Amino acid sequence: MLNNSIGKLLHEAKQRLMERHLDTNAAEILIETRLGLSRSELWQSLDREISEEGQLQFEKDFARYLDGEPAQYILETAPFYGYDFYVDPRVLIPRPETEELVLLAENHLKKQSAQNALDICTGSGIIAITLKKLFPKLPVTASDLSEKALQVAQKNAKALQADVCFKRMNLIDAFLETGEKFDLIIANPPYIAESEKSEMSASVLAHEPSLALFAENEGLAIYQELIHKLPKIVMDNYWIAFEIGYTQGDAVKELFQKSFPQASVIVHKDINQKNRMVSCTNILI
């Protein structure tokens, strides 16, 4: 087989993506990631010949992408907060909104240190691992119901050399037994209502784990159970922040106010000006 240049491969792939009204950036992402090139290195390598092996790999990847599979699952990697995380269909693909949740926690921790942090519904471990990388001295625990997700989280923690303690349980149930307490609690739990399915992309519905996406009661069921149980595992001073669906600000705020009547509860917007996080704290700074 005659070898193609990277430039020709890229050009043809973009052409095909355009014809199908798909994101043409996918061609660059698939090629550069497999070849281990940065975007600027890719531009400098357009005349380079791609090996037969490289070309076959690209054809396989590209066919999967055209078939609707997310590029992050094809490449088994996704960026989050400057780190590369391993992902596969056992876990959700990290979303940029969740980076804003971590930023909120980072800004809090810069002002007020914590003694024991907990990430609930950790999934691939992105939140817990990133916190540990940012604050290496902070003890970080992470929980999830899914054994399969925890396998992915553990793989990520090892690869990124983050010493996070992973525990399998429903939400925080094991801590209700052991009495372990936390002063920084963060979560991006499943919060999508079944009724929202019709507005979701086919690719998400077909490939991402529904356990990580959906919750009963208009998507509020996990918040209801979790926030009801939370007062039992918080230390005297606590800071809690959850990601939410953009319509859930008032409902989740109310749940926090019921469980923590003395706390200050704030709904935060994301960069798209949508309600995206709720924090609850009794620390005044």
| Interface residues toward ligand GLN, by CB under 6 A | 92, 94, 98, 121-124, 126-127, 188-190, 212
**Nearer to ligand GLN (CB atom), residue 17 or residue 172:** 172
Q: Whole-angstrom Cα distance, residue 177 to residue 189?
A: 21
Token pair listed for 177: 């037994």
Residue with the shortest CB distance to ligand GLN: 123
**Nearer to ligand GLN (CB atom), residue 223 or residue 239:** 223
CB of 118 to ligand GLN, least distance (A): 12
**Nearer to ligand GLN (CB atom), residue 66 or residue 145:** 145
Q: Whole-angstrom Cα distance, residue 157 to residue 155?
A: 6
CB of 98 to ligand GLN, least distance (A): 4
CB of 116 to ligand GLN, least distance (A): 18
Q: Which residue has the tokens 């992973």?
A: 166
CB of 126 to ligand GLN, least distance (A): 5
Q: Look at residues 210, 173, 214, 170 and name the one whose alpha carbon lies nearest to residue 190.
A: 214
**What distance lies between CA 272 and its chain's CA centroid?**
18
The phi and psi torsions of 5 (rounded to 5 degrees) equal -85, 160
CB of 5 to ligand GLN, least distance (A): 38
**Nearer to ligand GLN (CB atom), residue 214 or residue 239:** 214
CB-based contact 78:99 (threshold 8 Å): no
- Number of DSSP helices (H) and strands (E) in the chain, helices first: 14, 9
**Nearer to ligand GLN (CB atom), residue 17 or residue 78:** 78
